[in-house]
Amino acid sequence: MNYPADTTYPDTGSGNLEDVLQKLRTLQKVLFQRFGTEAEIQDLPRALSHKTDELNRLKQNYVDHNDLYNRTRERITELRERAIEAERERERYEGQMDAIRTQREYEALDKEINDANLREAEVRRELQREESRLDEMSVALEQEEQRIGKQDQEVAEEQQRIDTEIAERKITLKELVAEEAQITPGLDEELLFKFERIIRNKEGLGIVALRAGVCTGCQMILPPFFANRVRIGEEIMFCPNCSRIVFYGGDDEFETDPFDAATAEFDDDDLMFEDDEPEEIEAVVDAAAAGPVAAAPSDSDDEEDDD
């Protein structure tokens, strides 16, 4: 197995390695919180988008329904005029009755009057239908207005809640950045840059113990010469499998929690890394007993950090 040259980090000579490792262990907690807070600030406004979409949909519906309402009103005005016209026509025919002289003339006029009556009745029926539709629309529009008002208020309240939460997180963020600034002086910039990437990619766990030759970040058994360099502690070493920084955590076999030394300062609910599989650890230990660098179950999150 070949290990890339950049799995180690040259000591900058600025202070002893144990100090640097201690700083990194403290820093990883701050960085993880900062990245989480930054992600929350970015994600919070998204909670509103569903409510805003719904509000816009309601408003668009209202505009459409209001158009229909107005068109119906125009139609009603037109029907009223037509009803009056039909009525006048009938009255005009009825007025002509006095001038009738023959049976034939009478029958013709009577037919006109009947037709005019039918037309008027038909227009009035339609008028009635449209008027009752208009009433229903008016009630529906009122309900829609209320729904829009309610939704408007919900959006405003949600917006306010989000604004408040973002403001709180920005305060937290400021504190974290200040905390970070307390830790980072003296740390190499390139190391910091790399460490931040590891923290981002490995869900907050960027520096882990190497215990009994096994990286407690990925459970990979690392070769003795590598483990030895970690134990000597003269340079910063990166796990060739998961690229986390490893520090010497003793030669004792695994305890139940392989993360324990690295995560001592973490609150449990701060962390989201996968649960450890005890069988996997046993397999590693068995493999370790069987011989050096036996094929150990490797982390699924393979190296993705190196440039």
The minimum distance between CB 203 and Zn ion, in angstroms, equals 14
**Which of the stretches 7-15, 130-138, 193-201, 237-245 binds Zn ion when contact is defined by CB under 5 A?**
237-245
268/252 Cα distance (integer angstroms): 24
- Residue (79 or 242) nearer to Zn ion, CB: 242
The minimum distance between CB 293 and Zn ion, in angstroms, equals 13
User: Contact 141/118 with Cβ under 8 angstroms?
Assistant: no
- Residue (218 or 296) nearer to Zn ion, CB: 218
- Residue (32 or 93) nearer to Zn ion, CB: 32
204/59 Cα distance (integer angstroms): 44
Under 8 Å CB-to-CB from 281, ≥6 apart: which residues? 219, 254, 258
Neighbours of 233 (CB within 10 A): 15
- Residue (55 or 213) nearer to Zn ion, CB: 213
The minimum distance between CB 155 and Zn ion, in angstroms, equals 47
Number of residues that bind Zn ion (CB under 5 A): 6
| Of the candidates 186, 194, 169, 181, the residue with the CA atom closest to the CA atom of residue 245 | 194
The minimum distance between CB 217 and Zn ion, in angstroms, equals 4
Q: In DSSP terms, which residues pair with 207 in a beta bridge?
A: 245
44/37 Cα distance (integer angstroms): 10
- Residue (213 or 217) nearer to Zn ion, CB: 217
- The Cα-based distances of 281 to 213, 242, 245, 301 in angstroms read 13, 16, 20, 17
The minimum distance between CB 290 and Zn ion, in angstroms, equals 20
**Which of the stretches 29-37, 152-160, 226-234, 240-248 binds Zn ion when contact is defined by CB under 5 A?**
240-248
Q: Are strands 236-238 and 207-211 parallel, antiparallel or unpaired?
A: unpaired
**Which of the stretches 59-67, 110-118, 157-165, 231-239 binds Zn ion when contact is defined by CB under 5 A?**
231-239
Burial label, 301 (beta-carbon count in 10 A; 0-12, 13-18, 19+)? middle
Q: In DSSP terms, which residues pair with 9 in a beta bridge?
A: 236
The minimum distance between CB 241 and Zn ion, in angstroms, equals 4
Residue 241 as a binder of Zn ion (CB under 5 A): the answer is: yes
Site string for Zn ion, 200-229 (x = CB under 5 A): ---------------x-xx-----------
The minimum distance between CB 300 and Zn ion, in angstroms, equals 12
The minimum distance between CB 3 and Zn ion, in angstroms, equals 12
- Residue (93 or 238) nearer to Zn ion, CB: 238
User: Contact 161/154 with Cβ under 8 angstroms?
Assistant: no
- Residue (34 or 211) nearer to Zn ion, CB: 211
The minimum distance between CB 8 and Zn ion, in angstroms, equals 14
Residues 66-95 close enough to bind Zn ion by CB under 5 A:
none
| Per-residue tokens: 201 | 């990619």
Judged by phi (left if over 0) then psi (alpha if -120 to 50, else beta), residue 154 lies in alpha
- Residue (93 or 226) nearer to Zn ion, CB: 226
* H or E element at residue 237: strand 236-238
User: Contact 236/191 with Cβ under 8 angstroms?
Assistant: yes
- Residue (86 or 239) nearer to Zn ion, CB: 239
Q: Classify 210 as helix, strand or coil.
A: strand
Residues that bind Zn ion (CB under 5 A): 215, 217-218, 239, 241-242
